[in-house]
Chain A
Amino acid sequence: MSSRGWAAAVTVAATIAATLALAVVFAAERHYERAFAFRIAGTTAAYVAAVTPPPQPPPPPPPAPRVVRGRRRPSIRPAPPPPPPQLAPLSPAARSYDLPSLLTQARALQTLPGWSSDVEVYFGTAPLVDATAPPLSPDDLSYLAAAGLWRAGRALVPLKDRDGQEVVGAVAVRPHPMPHGPLPGGIGFAFPAAILAIGAAAATAFRERSLRPGARGGYVGAALFLALATYLDVRAAARQSTDRWLVDTRRLLQEAATRLPPPRVRVAISDLAAIVRDGEVVAGEPADSPPRRVRVDGERRAVVAVLIGSGRWVELRSVPAELEAPRWLILLLPSALLGPLAILLLRWAERTPARLRRETAIAWGFLGPAGLHLTVFTIGPALYAIYLATAANLPALARDPVTWNALRNTALYALYVPVSVALALVAALAVFRYRQHWGGRLLSTAFVLPYVASAVVIALVWQAIYRWGSFGLGRTDWLSNTGSALPALMLISVWAHMGGQMVVFLAGLQAIPPAYLDAARVDGAGAWRGFWRVTLPLLRPVTWFVVLTGVLGALQMFTLVFVLTQGGPSPSHATGVMVHRIYQTAFGQQAFALASALAVVFAVMLLILRWPQLAILRRQVRNA
């Protein structure tokens, strides 16, 4: 590639990377704007439901003016009015709204000073605020029962009846476009940073033919700066989304404070809190108007002070959206660093002979699928589990007796391995001795069969044996007896794993040069001593391998417990082994953080146990 062509390619690569980063920022800003729109629409729907009275009943009984809020926490209201005499559930019509009042309330929303959005309220499919606007489609309305909708730049959320049961209409919010960026004109940091990064790439590429490490580092720095700037913009958008909601909701609360109670009665804070379902309303102090970030009980909260009456202040709190903004870095960092990566790749391609380039490309082609698989299904989940585990309460985990019981059971269960290994060795010797004979082959097939069978099938077969046979020992079922359940599982495992271990031993026996045994025989060793002094020591690496893989497999046992005992017999958890405990914690109790923590701790323990195995394998490789 020519020098100019190379420089142009570098610039293109940097431009693509910067554009990608900007696209991510744009997507994030849209995401947060929509999140705000849906959120304020939901709050508005709750507000409308709270402030609108029910329809007037046809035979007018004495009006019950404050029925409106009767469904929420009537007990903690300061001056409980007589609850509406509702002995039977309200009819759908009675749970709906008084249409004239609804019309009034909806129109009033449009005139709220300081609101940053256009709002529309639909009763059924009919728009109330702007009566000439097109109605909602019935499909959209029915769809709203399940979830919110984004239609033509507006967030649509359902307006439910006063019992919150049926969808009677919708609230649509179109947020006014607002400048996101902190720079003049609403420009974010990202755009100038992108220009800078492209410029830096172009400058370094066109100035000199070969990028010295220093210059390269400068461009990497510019790319990192781009990542940082885009992140700051995303964070600002997230923050703005929360702030906008706080400010607009404050207006709604103030409005509600005047509309909710009958005249001359102070509004209850709990009534206001009912409107703000995804935030908190608590009694508060006078404060400045802009939203602030404070710590409440150690948690970060975005708060704004709301004046709801003369001298009465409440505080509106919300979880700040920017708390989870860092996850955008997963997209932002790679797209920003794509530029430097592409440049390094270009440099490498320029320097490398075509043949090596092709070979490397082919090698990566081969590695790619495996690497992708490993990343997506192994490394990714492992990292995610570690991330989840950070939220777990480790001291509580250590104090939990069930955890220790699981560990103990796991260790006890693994004790079957020496037994099965010893039996496997005996079987291997027998099969090896008679390997030319049909009896030996039959024996070997019989031992290997369970090894190749599915663990679930084995479990079910043995379940039947334990249930019906019980080996004539008078017990009805070994698996449901606390004392015998774990040994019963161990017996199955011995039977199931012996064959595989025997195959490894057979391979080991075949690998021993016969001259060693000949020499031992001439030296005067009989069969027994020859075995102890020569065969067994020569098999030692194989034996270690079999024992360690067996123990590691035993520690990770899950299938038998899952199929046969579910960790029971409860409540003693007699067969509750570690992996099953992890499974139970995650999918039974839905405690994913705890399960992840258990899994990580257990993985570390297995890793430590794995060490001698790796050492042995290394030694074997060296000797081979």
Chain B
Amino acid sequence: MGSVTLRRLSKIFDGGIQALHDLDLDVRDGELLVLLGPSGSGKTTILRCIAGLEEPTGGDVLIGDRVVTRDPPRARDVAMVFQTPTLYPHLSVRENIAFPLEMRGTADAQVTRRVVEAATRLGIPSVLDRMPDTLSEGERQRAALARAIVRGPQAFLFDEPLSRLDAKLRIELRAELLALHRALGATMIYVTHDQTEAMTMGGGAGQRIAVLHEGRVRQVGTPEEIYQRPADVHVARFVGTPGMNVLQGRGRGTGEEGPVIEAGSLVIPVELSTYEGELQVGIRPEFVGLCAVDKGVGNVDVLVVEPLGSETLVHLNTGGQALVARLPGFADVRVGTRVGVKVDRRRLYLFDAAGVPLA
């Protein structure tokens, strides 16, 4: 097992697109780090640089204490599971799992034993002699996982391995992956764009989430940290379902009723007295409430109502900016009506115009 360290890693593709900007990241030995970010944020590029499938334009990759930046993939001793199940279609499941061992010249007897071990660990010993195209999606991804764990590498790289599975199977396999992490105590880097998945995978002991945006790591922390104390406006918007409302606004320290923030059609009284000028105000949907017209901090138009059963999402228009309210149960809101908005003042997040938290 080993740690994985990225030092000032940058990658510029042939077309001139810069995927990574001087990125630093420390994955501790035995840690499960979830790389969370929207598509195009550079998650997969990071994994491919660690695996050796892409050569970084600048910076270094360290596995353990060794600099492996220029090493070919086979010299790095990492295993990778891809988004599409990459079982070789011409090999049986057994031969697929044995493939990495065979490539390293492991003795036959040991290969047989370890293949069965890995398959048993993932609950697929019965399909060892089948061909990949006869397996179900779940069995296929399990077989791919077995192929990854079979040789006990320094680190595991997961590139959205569950994103193509249906929801039920995804939850099941997620739990198994976590159990696998606990059992193996291995260093794992798990890439996903699904923040629910990130929260689940990054929630346990020795687990963290790194949020990426446009080729930069914005925040590394526990789920609670990145949810409660987002490092910038991008993290705030990306984390949560739905993500935080971020309104462009202007702070006024000299309002008649004390300092306020004007954002769209809202005038929100705040305790922050010292700030004047452009800023961004964030509020999570669950802390937005609706009330009668003129009773709240402003009036808004109801655009869309999404009753989800346990909660109702109400999409609002506040002076041209979108605001989502998350109300418990079924809410009696009509599309096209005008309602007042209440906000929990203690739950406001203030960012400056560049997206950095104030105070």
Contacts and interface: CB of A to CB of B under 8 A. Distances in A.
B99 A523 contact: yes
B107 to A, nearest CB: 15
Given A537-B90, A538-B89, A538-B90, A522 B84 contact: no
Contacts of A519: 80, 82, 86, 88
A538 B89 CA distance: 8
B147 interface: yes
B130 interface: no
A524 B76 CA distance: 9
A441 interface: no
A521 B88 contact: no
B38 interface: no
B240 interface: no
Interface string A482-525: 00000000000000000000000000000001011011111111
A521 B52 contact: yes
A547 to B, nearest CB: 17
A535 to B, nearest CB: 10
A515 B78 CA distance: 16
Interface in B61-110: 72-74, 78-80, 82-84, 86, 88-91, 99-100, 103-104
B313 interface: no
Contacts of A518: 48, 51, 53, 80, 82, 86
Contacts of B99: 520, 523, 525, 533
A526 interface: yes
Interface in A599-624: 623
A540 interface: yes
Contacts of A526: 72, 74
Interface string A457-475: 0000000000000000000
Nearest to A526: B74
A543 to B, nearest CB: 12
A540 B53 CA distance: 25
Nearest to B83: A515
Interface string A515-556: 110111111111001000110011010000000000000000
B90 A522 contact: no
B297 to A, nearest CB: 51
Given A522-B73, A524-B74, A526-B74, A516 B100 contact: no
Nearest to B104: A524
Interface string B202-233: 00000000000000000000000000000000
A254 B96 CA distance: 97
A621 to B, nearest CB: 14
A540 B90 CA distance: 9
Nearest to B81: A519
A513 B53 contact: no
A118 to B, nearest CB: 86
Contacts of B83: 515
A515 B51 CA distance: 13
B155 to A, nearest CB: 11
Nearest to A527: B72
B88 A534 contact: yes
Contacts of B103: 520, 523-525, 529
Interface in B279-304: none
A540 B91 CA distance: 13
Contact of A516 (B48, B86, B157): B86
Contacts of A540: 90
Interface in B103-142: 103-104, 133
A526 B71 CA distance: 12
A384 B332 CA distance: 83
Contacts of B133: 623
A521 B53 contact: yes
Contacts of B104: 524
Contacts, number: 63
A481 B88 CA distance: 50
Interface residues of A, number: 19
* Main DSSP-derived SS at the A contact region: helix
Given A515-B82, A529-B103, A522 B88 contact: no
A147 B183 CA distance: 103
Interface string A311-329: 0000000000000000000
B188 to A, nearest CB: 15
B89 A522 contact: no
A527 to B, nearest CB: 9
Q: Name the residue in A520, A529, A538 with the highest tally of chain B Cβ atoms < 10 Å from its Cβ.
A: A520
A525 B104 CA distance: 8
B287 to A, nearest CB: 43
Contacts of B73: 521-522, 524
A332 B284 CA distance: 89
Contacts of B78: 522
Nearest to B85: A515
B170 to A, nearest CB: 20
Given A523-B147, A524-B104, A516 B74 contact: no
A325 B109 CA distance: 81
Contacts of A534: 88
Nearest to B103: A524
A522 B79 contact: yes
B53 A525 contact: no
B72 A537 contact: no
A534 B96 CA distance: 11
Contacts of B100: 523-524
Nearest to A524: B103
Contacts of B82: 515, 518-519
A529 to B, nearest CB: 7
Contacts of A533: 88, 99
A515 B82 CA distance: 7
A520 B88 CA distance: 9
A537 B88 contact: yes
B196 to A, nearest CB: 25
A522 B147 contact: no
B72 A522 contact: no
Contacts of B84: 513, 515
A513 B86 CA distance: 9
Given A513-B84, A533-B99, A525 B90 contact: no
Nearest to B100: A523
Contacts of A524: 73-74, 100, 103-104
A444 B111 CA distance: 42
Nearest to A540: B90
A198 to B, nearest CB: 63
Nearest to B51: A522
A602 B79 CA distance: 55
B89 A525 contact: no
Contacts of B157: 522
A318 B82 CA distance: 86
Nearest to A516: B86
Contacts of A525: 74, 99, 103
Contacts of B88: 516, 519-520, 533-534, 537-538
A526 B72 CA distance: 9
A540 to B, nearest CB: 7
Contacts of B72: 521, 526
A539 B4 CA distance: 36
30 contacts: A515-B84, A518-B48, A519-B82, A519-B88, A520-B103, A521-B72, A521-B73, A522-B53, A522-B73, A522-B74, A522-B79, A522-B80, A523-B79, A523-B99, A523-B103, A524-B100, A524-B103, A524-B104, A525-B99, A525-B103, A526-B74, A533-B99, A534-B88, A537-B88, A537-B90, A537-B91, A538-B88, A538-B89, A540-B90, A623-B133
Given A523-B103, A526-B74, 6 more contacts: A515-B86, A522-B52, A522-B79, A523-B79, A526-B72, A537-B90
Interface of A: 513, 515-516, 518-526, 529, 533-534, 537-538, 540, 623
